Structure 1
């Protein structure tokens, strides 16, 4: 698919499902291959039925059954009635299964029966887990113990030989009582190795105090504990350090086995053999450190490294490069030409030119090239010319897979293009004002609103923007901005802005400060909205409302508006005709004298009957009905009393006809006015939604740009560190090799602890800590105490000073220290990248949920918690700077049938109203709970949204759900937000209520389950 083609949501879902299934099939195939080729016998069985589910070929070799045979059997079917310890096999199997669920795995001895019914002694390792469908499943790894049994049979025969061997073997041989810790036997070789006499060593306390290294005692204790717990006769090996009688340190390796057991199977004696491996251990540790250093350098670089010796035309590749290019190092000899062949045609030419230039002009190169494959991938290729004393001119370089990074970079550019398109289509101008730099970045519908090109508008700084504001509005707007900057509060202003054709456009400007701490916020983001249309709509609406109200109140006919059976409004003529001073709590039944009255919905548009005045007087009336919306009607009443007088019939009829004509004319005008009101109302609702969208876009733009900026900055720092380490690689290796083993261990432990124990300090606390550390380092003779103290406190690793205290007196300490700080910088930058990626993924997921609209018009199953969380994520930029959110949710998702997109509009209005009511500081509590079942059998769920704002006054709380009613200033809201809430909840057959006192306002939304 081309990059500029649109893709529908359904196509995207299908593609995602296809890729997920493909990945799942690949994972299953890989797992099955490892399972079948495992060298150990592996079996999977159902813990309830104990029937086998799967097994590999190794198990069929041990027991002689075919795989089909085993899949029809259970564990008990291939076990004897009793195990060697006398317990029944079914009971003992249940005990091991329960122990496995407690510990996660269990290891034990077990006797199985093969196909011929012969006993096979095995060792079983059992791993228990719960499958996706809730079944209890076990995976067993089985090993035969024939060799061990044979060894036990021959042990008695070789006791005499063992006695002879222990006297001549160049090793320490001993038997230790595990109950008393005393040595029952110890040969004289310990005098040869360590210079200690045998007799005092028979006491274990003497061994701890004089011979065993204190830093290795925990290893010895763990080794002994493992032998006691596993209760078998396996050979256990351990390396540890000891002192000779001169205080010199030696490395010993012991081979131990449980030698004797009590009746409960617990080991009581251990047999051991120890040898001095000091010289071997030193070589082994040096080699291990070198390998770890090489692996660490390769791991940090995240790339394959290559080296080309130009004169001999020989190449060296690291293992990572073989893996990256998918070739087997045992069957492939790398050359410069074979390396180039791995790249696509266009990339080959580019790489050839870069290598030639590096060879001739000694110029380094840094390229992004395409590697051939299925599919092709993109890689970063770097190279540098070096003149080696031994090999002459060489080019050393690296190849790093950047395919995913490049795709994300392209996706980011596409997202920015889409964001720019949305901003243009919504008619909003978006800005980002850096207060410290006095720089404003503009985007959005600049061309369509003001006529300027975006390039010429982006040259405007604060003074340039102020010069475009109408002179009458400029000073007031400037004061509002200064006040907002001084208090770090949200900025809101109305002013006229000069367009390119020198006309002034009415603008609503809404801005907010961003940053990790309000006291350090140095940037303001916001939107400019052309409110010309809004002002025009509001003016028309006020005119039409006034005209309608005048006609309504001064009409000669009695007119009322009903909702259901209740009267919600009445004109003066109605009050005069029926004698009521107020229409509150008056219903249709109160003014109709009809015992069979069954509601307005069954009546014609015009009908006659008797009415009842407040004093009980009956009057004949004619009623005309007009439905204006669901459950609402307009009724007009005509008093027919005079028609009863015969001589006035003709006159009355004529008057009635005239009045009817007038009513029809007025009714038509009223209907037209109502239709215009509905259209205007719909347009205002749309404007309200677009304004909300503009606020969200501004917040989301910042929320995405911040982590992306962090990723870019961290990536550049990591690359710089990698380049420095590659350049200084040989120096670093020499530096580390020159230090004693103990100091290298202290150094590497410091590097790891410094990454895990970060504690960033700020302000006076940081300055105090730097001073204390500097004074301490100066007392230890550190020449660069100021620099070292600054670095470790700025990086937050002041709690890990032991390495510096041990090594600061070394002459090359500063090189040692700088290399360690580069490593810590790199690990912290990698962690910053991971956190930023997780943040962007969360924002984009929430935005996708918010932007999905249901076009079917049907209720669907929706998780109510996720529906609310979508709105909270999108308003995160307004919430995080001063609002604490308390979530009282059920433990599991709560599914209801609803219109999810409509409900998002409900939570958007209620949550944003709460944020504004608290002036962006306070506590927002959201509670979701199931109500107890009603008497009619219905079940309800309630959502309570509570804020700690100023509250709603008693005199207006009854009107807040009325359309167009608002307490906000002109331009801040149309008064339709809570009307939208009421309509949506009514559409769901639910209801909404409010309870408010100063400092606490709670909106309760009840929805049927």
Structure 2
């Protein structure tokens, strides 16, 4: 075999592998003369013997082999000893080299590369090494095969036609001609890109898993150290071997040394569990294979045979297929928490009972569970039954809060929550019947082990009565403050010696001394008038020593700092101490000087009034005496005096006296004035007259039109009353003879004017008009005013002259007297 270290002559005629009929050359023994050699064999004879290509088969035509190669999924090519492609299948041509088969056959790899560069196709320069090696006609392995024969296998990456990088296994074998000489190399390629990618990913996963296991191991060690310091036990349960590995505070919790539970099985551990809890614990171990995390409480027997409460927490570790391999967890002693919970539950139960008995509602709001519980006097406070109210959540409860109170409630609760302090808030709450009550909510915020608020507990109670009472107290305090601010007296307290120990109020205004002077440098004897002092002490001692008298008051005089004398009223009260003995006197002092002066003035005024009344009575008696004299003279002048005339004379005199008496009666009823209400007097006067002159069955009516509250003094009222008495009596006696009906009218009105007096000062004058009329038969035409024979009408003329008035008589439709007079208002 000739040496192939040098590059074959590219211009030499390549040896043909087919005959002129385009048939494959067959050796004398009818076997193929070119063969595929073993992967690493260098023995040509072994290669030839290892397998004949299409033994005993003579194939007619080269294209048959080409068609067979095109059906293969692996790229296949054949290059002669000069590096010229003589045969490529479709996969190698299109998908690997990126040329049609016709463009490859008869050309070398360097020629193909040059064409690629000439076209500007840059896909091959991604890997420079592959490109340079690809541009040589032969690789190192191919040169070795051409020189020594046999076959070789190598792994290599190529940038293929679509620009992607692929990894291939290349099997290169020498092919001999009919003379046994190496004519070229056949290359079969196997794409292992996905395999290599999977191997790479697997390798990376293994590395990541190793790192994770190392990290987990460190974490477990740290976690065990922390757990041990926090007084807990850590376990690692191998589901396959049923072995539990323990660490942590084993001896502190169970009383057993750590070796006692070393590599123990689940059954050994369960044997120490309280009999009543074993079934649950066994079911828990059986569920570990499902990988479901859980938490369980159980009772465990310690070495000293006492039982403790443990909390068992577990979490599973799985393989890549999701199969549970191990279960890790923590076991901690919760005996104290359990006892505390039981005690808390008992305490809460007692608290609920107390709340129910005291009319309060308990609430327990858990934010984690989104649950609120109610207990206590629910129906008493809210009107809802316990079953109805237990359906209330936070939103429903807040809807029952008075709308105007919600913002203030939210603000108070938010501030309390942020500060973590107790809260106490008042607001109005709507009961079931729609009415609102005042309630007080007070409670606390509870935090978990991580310091986060998760719960609030407290009570809600009805404070409506207290609120109303407070409002009454506040109103009373406001009144008291207002009273004290506007109080013009002095409040005081004295000890058992009657020495002042408290003096407050208008001290300066009443006494002229300051409060400090009164309390520290003065006694009662320094300010109470000497003449009144014995009486004051006597009254105070009487109250102090009496069992029945608790209070008293007295008027006395005090001497002010400036020496003036003021009247004061002392109102005092005895305050009992221990054993019902008097402790001190307290009271108030009012300045009553003005009242005393007014009383004195009124007393003097009353004396003058009494004197005036006596004087007027004397004058009126003289008037009555004069009237009786006139009546007597009239009777004496009569030639014949009948009994009837005497009786009429007495009746007339009686009516005249009654008119005067009525005026005195009205005057006494109005003690504050020397004037009388003439409209009221006139009604009583006419009523008496109608009763006196009641005429058979005749229906005589009175129409009275008098301005209300018309006031006249006695100097005007007495003569005017007698005038009305005479004129009305005259109508009742003479106007309606033989008639069944009749009407008498009285009209009194006045108007005010100002007139100048002789001293040129203006005076207020009221001009009155009194009209007395009837619809009777009329007064005789012979009657003239001022020239009457009857005593009554004579008195009318006399009294009108006294009033400086005038009389007008009209006879149309009866009798009508119009009297006009003026009254000057006295100052």
Q: TM-score, normalised by structure 1?
A: 0.24
Q: TM-score, normalised by structure 2?
A: 0.29
Question: Which one has a bigger Cα radius of gyration?
Answer: 2
